[in-house]
Every structure is written in C-alpha cells, then in structure tokens.
Amino acid sequence: MQKQDHHHFYMPEYWLLWLLLGLLYPVTRLPLSMQRWIGRRLGSVLYLFGHNRRHIAAVNLRLCFPKLPASRQHTLLKQHFALYGVSIIECFATWWSKPKIINQHIKYTGLENFDQAMTEKRGILLLSGHFTTLEIGSRLLGQKIPFSGMYRKHKNPLFEYIMSEGRKRWINGKAYDRRDVRGILKSLKAGNAIWYGPDQDYGRKHSIFVPFMGVNAATVTGTSRWARLTNSIVLPYFVERTQSGYHVRVLPRLENFPTSDQRADAIRINQVIEKQIRVSPENYLWTHRRFKTRPAGEPHPY
C-alpha cells in the first residue's frame, strides 16, 4: 500500500491546531491528578466563552431536571463544563499516553458478563451513552475485551488524522463509519462485539418519539432492529471517574430483548441510559442538542 503524503498538514491553515497540539502533548505526560486539574481549568474557560454550548446544556438541564432549583441547575452546569474540559485532556491522553499513566487505579466489574456472552458465539451490542468518559472509557474497556467502534469523521482533516492514528494504537477491532450499516450488521452476524450509543438525536429517520429523562425525544430504533436482525446480545456498560482513577462496569445483558414492541424497546433502552445519568448527571454530554427534533407543532427548545 502506498504511503500517504501528509505534507499538506504543514500549511498555514493548520498552524493554530499544531500549536494547540504542542501545548496538549506535555499535559498528557503529567500524573492523572494534574491532568484533571488542568482539564477543570480548561472547562471553566469553555464555560465562560462557549456561549452556544453553554446555552444548549442549560436548556437540556432545565428540561431534564425541572424540579431542580435554578441554583442547583447552575451548579450542575458548571460541574459539567469542568468535566467537559477534563474529557478533552482525556481524549489526547487516550491517544498519546503510555499505559502506565492510563492504567493507574482502574477498577473493572462485570467482565464475566462479557465472557459469558462470548461463549454463545453471537454478536454483542455494547450499549452505552455519550458521557464525558466516552473516549477514555473505550480505551479502558478495549484493554480487556475485543470490540469495534462507530465514529463520525471529523471535519478538520488534521484532527481526523491525529484521532484515527491515536485510536489505532489501542483499538483491537475495527472503526466503522456510523453510516456503514451493512458492515456493522455483517460484523455482528459474524459474532463480533460493537460499541453502540443510541442516545443522540439523529433526526426523524428510523426514530420514534419516546420519553428520555421525562422529555419526548426522537430515539433511534436501531438497538432493537439490529439485535433482531443479527440475533445479537445487548450488553450495557458505563465508565465512571473515581477520585483516583476510573471504574468500568459491564452490566448483565438485557433479558427478553428485543421484543415485538419497538416502542417498548426504545423506552427500555432510554431507561438504561437514564439510570446511569442519574448516578452522575454532571458526567453526561449535555452540550448535544438532544431534543432538537420535535413532534409536529412543538417549538424548538434551543
């Protein structure tokens, strides 16, 4: 295979990104506690100057926690942005850090649930959500079990290259474009495990309106459709930050899933993710416009 020429990445249009990458690289070599401290400071800056994202997150929190006092919602918003900053540092640490830095104080529970599922030689949908631990959590889980992921190509070619090369250092499966449904289904039918996060708003196509955190939300039906088409097991997993590291939890499979009721299945999937959100609400990715697609006649919340 011919080696790709990346000389165009040194054009002036990429210099600012190279400067930011140069500043971030030494941070990923620091102890975890210092990385998190810097990440929280970065989150404070994003909170101050990220007006659009701050507005989206504030609306989401108001919709999902209507009984929470405004002062508590505001505190939760600032806590979220602190972790949002930490997650940015974690992304680059995931791609660049040595294992001895990443693997400090990692607790795994429920790996036997994955081992048991693998004995059945069926596909496995590793069900999770878009939490601020998404990138670091994928690496930590990938160190213990083999699975493929799904991704959306980044608009910036240099960032896309840095991200894809970084992931190649630790991923033990294949990275599928989320639009490559044929490839994903083929992999599941072959008995492989694939990460799947159905908790974002992908529009009306293949979505139905069911409650998510008490709000009617366009929810993709892919979890039940894909599980049915490929006879796959749905295995939830989540990753939480602890004071000194991380806790990776693989939960028991969803029994009696999928059913013949697509709506009931979508509600159940949302409830699995909601339960984890309530464990640490500041850790969820509130900056996504989760409720941008509305039923006919409803106003746009953002």
Fold of 11-283: Glycerol-3-phosphate (1)-acyltransferase (3.40.1130)
pTM of the prediction? 0.91
Confidence class of residue 281 from pLDDT cuts 50, 70 and 90?
very high
Judge whether 246 and 240 are in contact, CB under 8 Å. Answer: yes
| HSE value, Cβ hemisphere, 13 Å, CA-based, for 110 | 14
pLDDT band at 167 (very low <50, low <70, confident <90, very high): confident
Q: How many CA atoms lie within 13 A of 243 on its CB side?
A: 0
Q: Which pLDDT value is given to residue 165?
A: 81
Least trusted range by pLDDT, from 5-9, 75-79, 191-195: 5-9
Q: Is 145 in contact with 215 (CB distance < 8 Å)?
A: no
Average pLDDT of span 229-238:
97
Q: Indicate whether 277 pLDDT > 90.
A: yes
Q: What is the pLDDT of residue 193?
A: 95
Average pLDDT along the chain? 92
Q: What is the mean pLDDT of residues 247-268?
A: 97
Task: Give domain limits for the chain.
Answer: 11-283
pLDDT of residue 1: 37
Q: How many CB atoms lie within 10 A of CB 298?
A: 11
Give the pLDDT of residue 57.
98
Task: Find the mean pLDDT for residues 214-236.
Answer: 96
**Residue 154: per-residue pLDDT:** 81
Beta bridge partners of residue 239, listed in sequence order? 248
Burial status of residue 161 (CB atoms within 10 A of its CB: 0-12, 13-18, 19 or more)? middle
pLDDT at 101: 65
Which two tokens mark 35? 């990385």
Per-residue pLDDT reduced to its tens digit, 121-137: 999 999 999 999 999 99
